[in-house]
A and B are shown apart, each in its own frame.
Chain A
C-alpha cells in the first residue's frame, strides 16, 4: 500500500523529480565519459603529448570521484527534502517507522538506478557526439577511442550502485531518526547565522597561504614535476574551500553592515538571502570553483595546444613558403597566395653540394630566427647581418675555403630549406658570381615568401609540399616523409598535439557541464524553504518585478564568486604548460567565452526554475 502511495506521489511531483533525474543523469554521463578516456590506455599513450598522462588521469579520476560523491549526496538530500513532509504525514496516519524508512530507501535507490541507465546511455551518446565533433574539428582520427567502452561501463555501474546504496541508506536513516513532528515541520527550519572575527582571520590567512603554495608549485612545475601537481591539487583545493568557509561569509556580513546599502529597497532581504546561501553553500561553492578550475583549465589547455601548433611550427622559420625549382603548377598556386614579401635565390646542385649565388643572398639577406632554448617566446626574426667579403664559403672550413660567417648556414639550411630532407648529405656553399658561373650544372632557383594567413593557405601549401617531395626524391633517390618546410612541421606537430587537444576539449566541456549543475541543484533544493519568504514579501506589497530583480541579483552573486576564483586558478594554472606551450595565454578569450556561455545558460536556467518555485504564477 505504501509503495503505491509512494509511486503516485512521485508521479504527482514529476517535474521536481525531473530536475533530480536530470542532475543525476548528467553526473553519471560525465563520470562515464571521463572513464572512457581514463581507462583507455591505448588511446592515452598513443595520443598524448605528455608522457605522464595516465598519472594525470589517475589524479583526475580521484578528484572526479570525490566531487561525484559530494554531488550525489546533495542531489539525494534534495529528494529527502521533497519527500519528508509526506513521510511525516504517513507516520502520523500510523505507518510504521521502518516501513517509511524502507520506502525512502527504495525510492532513492529506484531513482538512482533509473538515472544510471539513462546516464550511461546519454554518456555513450555524448562521448560519441563530442568526440566526433572535436575529431572533425581537429581533423584527428583519434585511433583507439571508443565511446562504448565496456570496462568503463562496468566501473561506472559499480561506482554508482555502491554510491546509491549508501545514499539510500543515509536517506532512510535520516527519516528513521527524525521524529514525526520534525518531519512534518521540516520546511520551517531556521537558519543559524554565525561568523566569528578571530576564526575568520585565521581561516583567511590559511586560505591565502595554501593557495600561494599551490600557485608557486604550478608556476615552478618544471622543477617540481609530479610532486608539484599533487601539491598544487591538495593545497589549492583546501585553500579554495577555506576561502568560501571563512572569507566570503565575513565579506557579505561586512557588506550588509553598510547601512545605506542595506536599507535601500529590498537590499536587506537580498543580502540576507545571499548571506544565508553563502553560509550554507560553502562546500558547494568550493566544489563548483574546483570544477570550474578543472574544466576551464582543461579547455584552455586544449585550445592553447591547438594554437600552439602554428606557433611551434613558426618557431624556426620566418618564411611561410619555400619552393625549390617551382613548377608551372607551383607558380599558379603562388599567384593565388596573399604574399607580403617574396624573394628568389639562385643556386646550382652538384653531387657533392648545393652552391648558392652570393649576390642574391646579399641583395636580400634572409630573415632568420635564432633559437635560444632559454627563452620561451618565439625569437624575433632578424636579417643576417654578417658580410661575405670572400669569394667562396663552405659550411665546413677547409684549406681552400673559409667557413660561412654566423647566421648564413641557418639562413640557407632553414630559411631556404636546403635541408637534409631535400638534398640529402650535400654540403652547402656560397660562391660569388664569377665562381658560380664556372660551376657546371643547371642554374636553379628557390622561391621564398611570407604570407598573410598561414592557416588559411594550408590546402594550397599541401599541394606545393607534394611537389617538393618529388624534387627531394629526384635529389636523394627516395621520397622523404617530410620536407622540413613550415607546412610539414605544422602537420607533424599537429599530429602529436591532437590527442592532447582532444582530451582537453572533451574533459573541459564535461566538467563545465557538471559544475554548473551542482550549483543549480543545491540552489533549487533549498528553494522550497524560501517560498514562505517570498509569499510574505508579496503580501506586504513588494512588486513582482522587484522580487524578480532580487532573485537575479542574489543568484548572480552566488554564481559570480566561484567563477572569479576558478578563473584566477586557471590563469595561474596555465603557467604549468609554459614549458611545453609557447605563450599559453594566446586567445584565452575563447575558452573563457565558452565557459561564460555555459555558465550563463545555467545561471538563467537556475533563476527561471527558482522563480517558478518561489514566486506564484501571475493571475
Chain B
C-alpha cells in the first residue's frame, strides 16, 4: 500500500464566538488520501466543501483536529511557515482561474518557481515541460485576457504543477467552462494523475467532473456522509454518483 499524502484526523471547524450562535462547518471529519490518488469531495451547497478545502489548503485554520500533508503537521504552523508550505507543497486550481492578468502565460506559470528562488535558467525548461504536458506551448507569450477560458484553466493547472507539489487542490475547476472544455480539462487532469502520479483532491458539485475521480467522499452538514470507489467504467461511476446525490434530495 502506498504512503498517505494527506491525513485528516478529527477535523473540527466552528464559526462564531463562544456563547453566541455557533456554526459547526466541519464536524469531526477524518480521512486519508494516498500518494497518487485522485479523490473527489462532493456535497450540496453549505455542506462544508469549501471550508474543508480552505482548512486543508492552510488558508483557514482548524478549530480542532490535525492535518498532515506529506508527513508535515500543518495545524501548528505559523503564518509565514504556512505561506512557504503552500508555495512548496501545494498546487491550486480555482474556479475563476485566478491568473494574474498583467503577466504573460509564461510568467504566470513561472511565478511559483521564481518565488522559490529558482534561477531563470532552470525555470525555462520546467515551464516548457509543463506547458507541453498541458498543450499550451503555443500561447506562452500571450496575456490571459487574449486566451479562452479552457486555455486559462490549463494555464492555471500548469502553474499548479510546475513546482511539483505534493498535492493539487482543485476547487470547481470546470465551474466556469463549457461542457467541451470541461471534459477536455478533466481528461487532462486524469492523465496527470494516472500517468504522472500527481495526487489530486477535487472539490466539485458537478457529477460529470467527479466521475473522473477514483474515489469520492460525500459530505453533508459538516460530516462525512458516504464514500464510493470507482470499480468499473467512468460512465457507471457517473451513474453511481447521480444515485448518491439523489439520496440527498430524497
Contacts and interface: CB of A to CB of B under 8 A. Distances in A.
Main secondary structure, interface of A, reads: helix
A273 to B, nearest CB: 7
A237 to B, nearest CB: 30
A262 interface: yes
Interface stretch (B22-30, B34-42, B77-85, B192-200): B77-85
Tell me if B's interface is mostly helix, strand, loop or mixed: helix
Interface string A264-288: 1111110011011000000000000
Interface string A189-201: 0111100000000
B113 to A, nearest CB: 8
B107 interface: yes
Nearest to B144: A190
Contacts of B85: 541
Contact of A272 (B83, B103, B123): B103
Contacts of A262: 107, 120
Contacts of A192: 145
Residue among A263, A542, A619 with max Cβ neighbours from chain B (10 Å): A263
B229 interface: no
Interface string A506-545: 0000000000000000000000000011001111111111
B102 A273 contact: yes
A541 B88 contact: yes
Contacts of B112: 540-541
Interface string B59-100: 101000000000000000001101111111010101000111
Nearest to A191: B102
A265 B117 contact: yes
Contacts of B61: 619
Contacts of A275: 102
Contacts of A544: 79-80, 83
B91 to A, nearest CB: 8
B103 A268 contact: yes
A260 B120 contact: yes
B120 A267 contact: no
B114 A267 contact: yes
Contacts of B167: none
Contacts of B92: 539-540
Nearest to B97: A536
A456 interface: no
A263 B103 contact: no
Of listed A193, A540, A619, residue having the most chain B CB within 10 A: A540
A269 B107 CA distance: 8
A542 B80 contact: no
Given A190-B145, A191-B102, A536-B98, A268 B107 contact: yes
A618 interface: yes
A543 B58 CA distance: 13
A259 interface: yes
B83 A542 contact: yes
B54 to A, nearest CB: 10
Contact of A543 (B80, B98, B114): B80
B103 A193 contact: no
Residue of B84, B92, B111, B119 ringed by the most chain A CB atoms within 10 A: B111
B250 to A, nearest CB: 34
Interface in B190-215: none
Nearest to A267: B114
A102 to B, nearest CB: 34
B100 A536 contact: yes
B174 interface: no
Nearest to B112: A540
A192 B102 CA distance: 8
B111 A193 contact: no
B160 to A, nearest CB: 8
Given A260-B120, A262-B107, A541 B115 contact: yes
A276 B79 CA distance: 30
A532 B144 CA distance: 15
A192 B143 CA distance: 9
A276 B110 contact: no
Contact of B86 (A190, A268, A273, A540): A540
A335 to B, nearest CB: 69
B101 interface: yes
Contacts of B80: 543-545
Given A269-B100, A540-B112, A542-B115, A264 B120 contact: yes
Contacts of B110: 263, 268
Contact of B87 (A269, A532, A540): A540
Contacts of A536: 94, 98-100
A401 to B, nearest CB: 89
Contacts of B220: none
B57 interface: yes
Contact of B114 (A263, A538, A545, A619): A263
Given A190-B145, A191-B101, A544-B79, A269 B57 contact: no
A267 B88 CA distance: 18
Contacts of B59: 539
A272 B84 contact: no
Interface in A414-467: none
Given A276-B102, A540-B86, A268 B120 contact: no
A280 to B, nearest CB: 11
Nearest to B159: A540
Given A262-B107, A265-B114, A268-B107, A193 B90 contact: no
Given A265-B117, A542-B83, A544-B83, 9 more contacts: A190-B143, A263-B113, A263-B123, A268-B107, A269-B103, A541-B82, A541-B87, A541-B90, A541-B115
12 contacts: A260-B120, A262-B120, A264-B114, A268-B103, A268-B114, A273-B102, A539-B94, A540-B111, A540-B112, A541-B87, A541-B112, A544-B80
Closest 8 CB pairs of A and B: A541-B87, A541-B86, A263-B120, A190-B145, A272-B102, A536-B98, A543-B83, A268-B107
Interface of B: 57, 59, 61, 79-80, 82-88, 90, 92, 94, 98-103, 107, 110-115, 117, 119-120, 123, 143-145, 159
